[in-house]
Structure 1
Amino acid sequence: MSYEPQQPRPDYRSDGGYGPGRPDPRSAQYQGDPRTGSSGPQDDEKTVAVLTHLSGPIAAIVSVGWLGFLGPLIVWFIYKDKSPFLRAASAGAFNFNVTLWLLNVVGWICIFTFILIPVGIVLIAAYWIMLLVCHIMAAVKASRGEVYRYPMQLPILH
């Protein structure tokens, strides 16, 4: 049993100790933490991150818009303590999917009120457009080893 102190993991939500001369994992390609010698996300982490981002729209299509948050949540539970890159990717995807799910619910409520049918149609159309466009952009960035910042998220998972 080793009693050596462990290096802190980079934090993707905040500055995380990254300052002048150090890379910010949120903005550019994450090349690793120079303090720990990490070289950034491995190929298998990139693949899981791409699948995490694509699981939202796939689950939403299969469940007609109701379970898009389930895939990223499962990945977050599995990888939250194993990989900071996958933790950031899955938390962002989950938070974004929950936000879109609420938008979808409000859209359906508007449709059932009859008076607000045009508003409901616009909200549901915005839901599907944002779901597909943002997740495809996130999957492309994840394949390059970059963390994608979704445009709107309720901060549930970190």
Structure 2
Amino acid sequence: MKYHLCTKAILLLGVAGLLLTCQQTSFGQCKEKRSESTQQKIRYQTIPLGGKHEYLMLSSSGDEKLFSYHNEKIDLVYHVQMFTEIRFTSSRGNFSLYTTTSDRTRWNSCFTLSAPLTSKELEKMKGASQIVIILPEEKKVFSLTTKKIEMLHEALACLY
């Protein structure tokens, strides 16, 4: 009888441990870092597009939510300081983000476009199937695979 109760207790502890582990891994998907300038905690998640050198990043710091496109090996000769459009095709409604700045310099080859996100854009992003980045010298089209859509949903969950 004692053996039977011990077995049940161990089984229940094992199930509870698995549930806690699963809960921690779902929260563990979000990465965190400290802002060098404001010392605020930033939560972020990356979504690879073209290997490890080209990716999207969704990040949040307090109430601010940000979408960024990063490309470490872009062949862009220049980037005009004017609107760059990032177009989303989504089952929840198509939309565009616009950015006027890029962080590329001669000593930093990573090209970054960033734009703030509203709650409406975040909702529409949940149904995204394609992202088009329209640059002065080229147009980059990314169709999101099932895996990348899952990664996008995980990244969106990190923003809340």
Report the TM-score, using the length of structure 2 for normalisation.
Answer: 0.22
Report the TM-score, using the length of structure 1 for normalisation.
Answer: 0.22
- Which one has the bigger strand percentage? 2
Give the number of the structure with larger relative contact order, counting CA–CA contacts within 8 Å between residues 6 or more apart: 1
- Which one has the bigger helix percentage? 1
Give 1 or 2 for the bigger CA radius of gyration: 2
